[in-house]
């Protein structure tokens, strides 16, 4: 739809409601929408930035006044060095990267078969596989299970738990997408004598790029920001960014140190915001095409 859609034609021949339709609210809309966004999103975000830029004394009771002197970089630096951010950042990467890559590859492999072999068994397996989208994971007993497997508190255990939780999301999105891809390319490769592994990695996987982009951002979003599952599985053993924020925001160093809490929030949110800003258009179209059939 273009800004000047064909609906905006002269109102002279139309009824009164059409004239009202096209003019006043339409012209008012950009201002009303911008004002709404500034109040609803702008104020909370400004509170974060302004408070993160204040000195300790000024930030004791966080408010919307701008800091008299900006200390933003100092505060970010203090959080970075004293809040053990580098370790937590590394911990987050250590868990998020393998979990996301693993869940995407294994999920896509399963989705390919589920989409291409429409048997009764596969219909049941598919329903089972996507049930995890809605069903809550058993957070307490997973700890016990990991202990029995010798994976308690380890990065491997955490990666496995995240893969188990988000496998459903990947299979849901990818299976739907595979069904829309014609089989002719796969068949051509098969006739040329390619085995299933070759066909999957050289023909199918590249075709899945749009849906994998969507699934990547969704799973990253959940895993990067997760604190609940991390608390149970690796709490106290391995630090991730949210876990670290959760721990220090309640404890001594950060008690009533809102400037440091919000500096931390900025540091933690930046990576995802940057990724999103770069790939924004692709991500938006991917997320929406999967959800609305």
Partner 1 sequence: MLTATDTPVPDRPLAPPPAPRGPAGRTRRKPDRTHPMWFMAPAFAILLVFFFLPTAFNFVYAFTDWSGFKSAIRPVGFDNFADLASSGTLFSALRITVVYAVLVAVFQNLFGLGLALLLERDTWVNRTLRVFFLIPVLMSALAVGYIFQALLKPEGSLNQVLSQVFRHHIDYAWLGDTRWTIVVVALVHAWKWMGLSMLIYLAGLKTIPEEIMEASRIDGASRWHAFRRLRFPLLAPAITFNVATALLGSMNGFDVVQATTGGGPARTTEILNIFIYRTFGQGLFAQATTMSLVLFLLVSLMAFPVIRILRKREEIL
For position 19 contacting partner 1 by CB under 8 A, the verdict is no
DSSP of 159-209, one letter per residue?
HHHHHHHHHHHHHHHHHHHHTTS-SHHHHHHHHTT--HHHIIIIIIHHHTH
Kindly tell me which residue out of 95, 165, 219, 234 binds partner 1, with binding defined by CB under 8 A: 165
For partner 1 (CB under 8 A), the number of binding residues is 116
Element (H, E) at 129: helix 120-130
Closest distance to partner 1 from the beta carbon of 102 (Å): 8
Q: What is the DSSP letter of 152?
A: T
Contact (CB, 8 A) for 234 and 161: no
The residues in 99-118 that bind partner 1, with binding defined as CB under 8 A, are 102-103, 106-107, 109-110, 112-114, 116-117
The rounded distance, in Å, linking the Cα atoms of 179 and 182 is 8
Q: Does 292 bind partner 1 (CB under 8 A)?
A: yes
* Closer of 55 and 289 to partner 1 (Cβ): 289
Residues 209-228 that bind partner 1 (CB under 8 A): 221, 224-225, 227-228
CA distance 259 to 55: 7
Residues 169-208 that bind partner 1 (CB under 8 A): 171-173, 175-177, 179-184, 186-187, 190-191, 196, 199-200
The residue within the footprint of partner 1, chosen from 72, 249, 279, 282 (CB under 8 A), is: 249
Query: Applying CB under 8 A, does 251 fall inside the site for partner 1?
Result: no
Q: How far is the CB of 37 from partner 1 (least distance, A)?
A: 5
Residue 210 burial (10 A CB sphere; 0-12, 13-18, 19+): middle
The residue written with tokens 């809490």 in the block is: 261
């Amino acid at each position: 739809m273009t800004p000047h859609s064909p609906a905006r034609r002269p109102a002279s021949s139309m009824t009164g409601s059409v004239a009202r339709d096209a003019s006043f609210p339409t012209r008012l809309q950009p201002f009303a929408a911008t004002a709404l966004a500034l109040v609803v999103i702008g104020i909370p975000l400004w509170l974060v930035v302004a408070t993160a830029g204040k000195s300790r004394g000024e930030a004791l009771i966080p408010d919307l006044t701008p800091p008299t002197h900006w200390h933003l970089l100092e505060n970010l630096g203090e959080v970075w060095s004293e809040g053990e951010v580098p370790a937590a950042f590394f911990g987050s990467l250590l868990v998020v990267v393998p979990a996301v890559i693993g869940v995407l590859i294994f999920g896509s492999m399963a989705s390919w078969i589920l989409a291409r072999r429409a048997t009764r068994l596969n219909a049941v397996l598919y329903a089972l596989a996507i049930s995890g989208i809605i069903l809550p994971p058993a957070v307490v007993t997973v700890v016990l299970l990991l202990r029995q497997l010798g994976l308690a508190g380890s990065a491997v255990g955490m990666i496995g738990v995240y893969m188990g939780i988000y496998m459903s999301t990947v299979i849901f999105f990818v299976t739907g997408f595979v069904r829309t891809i014609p089989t002719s390319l796969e068949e051509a490769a098969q006739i040329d004598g390619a085995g299933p592994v070759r066909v999957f990695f050289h023909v199918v996987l590249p075709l899945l790029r749009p849906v994998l982009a969507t699934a990547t951002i969704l799973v990253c979003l959940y895993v990067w920001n997760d604190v609940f599952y991390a608390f149970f599985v690796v709490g106290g053993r391995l630090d991730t960014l949210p876990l670290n924020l959760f721990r220090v925001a309640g404890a001594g160093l950060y008690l009533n140190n809102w400037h440091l809490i919000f500096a931390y929030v900025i540091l933690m949110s930046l990576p995802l915001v940057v990724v999103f800003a770069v790939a924004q258009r692709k991500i938006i179209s991917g997320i929406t095409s999967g959800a609305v059939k």
